[in-house]
Structure 1
């Protein structure tokens, strides 16, 4: 009986250690957890080159060329087109999200390396904060156009920008 209890305890501790090591936080909040309480701002001008949320896959390849990699997802049916420092999520032939880490900037001129204070100065006080993938994240919603933008920070410097379709 004692051996069984020790074995079960060891298994539980192993799982907890694994969860801690990979950084999984069961209490972490998802973007949509903040939707109701965050006031809307206008994000309709957000685009990279000519590509915005709802652009087509053909628009993306016309603007960026052949992707370095294409990852097909079965459920939900979608694909990710990867280029140097930017990735586009496509579903039903429309851009549903894009994510960049260098070389690009937002409609308000925010780029990788800018501070949280610079983001808030440009986008305003109607934001939410959360931790995502080890990055402190500041996000905004455009509820009319159903767009979300998030800025991921490492040491108070923007390390990633994600623009996505809400819903």
Structure 2
């Protein structure tokens, strides 16, 4: 009887250990997949939403012609006035459909950021470059994921709307936790 009980306890312990390790690695590799959903249905940048087209007349009236273009295997990245960057579908019936908005500081001729917080664009929630992590959380809530971006050396917190398939991420300075870059994107963007 004691031996049977020991085997059951050991089996339960092993199952729970495997589940814990599995959850840890899923959270480490894809934290947005295990984060509770946040309603991002009203989220836009400059009045434009993910899946709007860069060829839309009102978009072109607001941002003009792209200042530059970066070729990418998956999307065309365009730099627009006011420090806006977009990633849009390259070809097919959805060509020009915006998959990602990026708000960053104004960029100089050499590609470096001139003024880290010199961008007036903001999220629908009013978050702009230079705002604090505390302000982001007070606006969007505590259901966020976080990770460290090895490429930029910055911390990132993000919100996901699983129903709409959208992500909103805020890249934060390492020391002062100020927003230095904002991403609004389709959650399928790599």
Q: TM-score range by the shorter chain?
A: 0.7 to 0.9
TM-score by length of 1: 0.76
In the aligned structure 2, how far is the partner of 1:31 from the partner of 1:94? 30
In the aligned structure 2, how far is the partner of 1:31 from the partner of 1:55? 31
The 8 Å contact of residues 147 and 166 in structure 1, kept in 2 or not, is answered as yes
Alpha-carbon distance change, 118 to 31 in structure 1, aligned in 2, over 3 angstroms: farther
CA RMSD of aligned residues (A): 1.9
Please tell me whether residue 99 in structure 1 is matched to residue 96 in structure 2: no
The 8 Å contact of residues 27 and 34 in structure 2, kept in 1 or not, is answered as no
In the aligned structure 2, how far is the partner of 1:47 from the partner of 1:140? 14
The 8 Å contact of residues 46 and 107 in structure 1, kept in 2 or not, is answered as yes
- Structure 2, unaligned runs of 5 or more: 1-25, 90-94, 105-118
The 8 Å contact of residues 171 and 180 in structure 2, kept in 1 or not, is answered as yes
Q: What is the CA-CA distance between 1:47 and the residue it aligns to?
A: 1.2
Deviations 1:79-138 (A, max 9, x none): 111024110000132100010022111111111111001100000010011112211111
Q: Which has the larger radius of gyration?
A: 2
Q: What is the CA-CA distance between 1:34 and the residue it aligns to?
A: 1.1
Alpha-carbon distance change, 32 to 94 in structure 1, aligned in 2, over 3 angstroms: farther
SS of equivalent residue, structure 2 residue 70: strand
The 8 Å contact of residues 149 and 164 in structure 1, kept in 2 or not, is answered as yes
Q: Which residue, out of 102, 114, 122, partners 2:131? A: 114
The 8 Å contact of residues 50 and 63 in structure 1, kept in 2 or not, is answered as no
Aligned to 1:39: 36
